[in-house]
Structure 1
């Protein structure tokens, strides 16, 4: 019995599955990095602003005002009368701190102003208002 001569075809590397796997991994990393935005405060509906700028600083204190008027200092509930002392306990004299005010867009203007007024009494801080 004679076997037909098989012409030797050269070996080939099929890279299409490898490209598919690489694109799947790339898509995973792109989508996962979209969820890595850093939010220091509690979730509130921030107002939008066209001229908002990103503030980068190592020493950040976050004050959050929720829609019902509740105030939080670094995610801990605090009363307005205790806010100044609470921030002063976190501030050290060696470098300035940035206090970011996360106020819900439905909070009354008077409540935001009263919190800002208390924060301005603290020495050694800079005040910023968070927007989207």
Structure 2
């Protein structure tokens, strides 16, 4: 019996069809163009004043007040009466701490002022902002 040896001959004529990949790329490109948000400019660029006393602000304590008068510290809600020891411990960790209070638009002003007064009693410099 004669033995037959198998030899594999590579076909040098094979090519990778790029058409389906290009179709997907163009579809994604069209999707991103259609769903992008375009910035509308007012048409006139106002001249903004420059502040001479502006300081870099890097708050180390972040406190948020929601519309239900809950005070959020480290992703946990508290009542205003419960936050003094928490703020004291945060201040003790960083003696020269700066804080920012983020208040919800519908937050109770009394709660925001109460948090700010607590920070003032503890000697922490604060800024208040709204979302």
1:74 Cα deviation from its structure 2 partner: 2.4
Paired positions, count: 85
2:63 is matched with 63
For structure 2, the 5+ residue unaligned runs are: 1-28, 37-53
Are the equivalent residues in 2 in contact too, given 1:83–1:119 (CA < 8 A)? Answer: no
For structure 1, the 5+ residue unaligned runs are: 1-23, 32-52
1:1-132 pair list within 5 angstroms: 56-57=57-58, 60-92=60-92, 95-123=95-123, 125-131=124-130
TM-score, scaled relative to structure 2:
0.51
- C-alpha distance after superposition, 1:35-73 (max 9, x if no partner): xxxxxxxxxxxxxxxxxx88532x511111111111111
| CA distance 1:91–1:68, change in 2 (3 Å) | same
Are the equivalent residues in 1 in contact too, given 2:63–2:102 (CA < 8 A)? Answer: yes
Instruction: Give the CA RMSD over aligned residues.
Output: 3.2
1:89 Cα deviation from its structure 2 partner: 0.4
What secondary structure is seen at the aligned counterpart in 2 of 1:63? strand
What secondary structure is seen at the aligned counterpart in 1 of 2:69? coil
Distance (Å, rounded) in 2 between the aligned partners of 1:129 and 1:115: 10
What secondary structure is seen at the aligned counterpart in 1 of 2:83? helix
What secondary structure is seen at the aligned counterpart in 2 of 1:120? helix
| CA distance 1:73–1:94, change in 2 (3 Å) | closer
Distance (Å, rounded) in 2 between the aligned partners of 1:87 and 1:81: 11
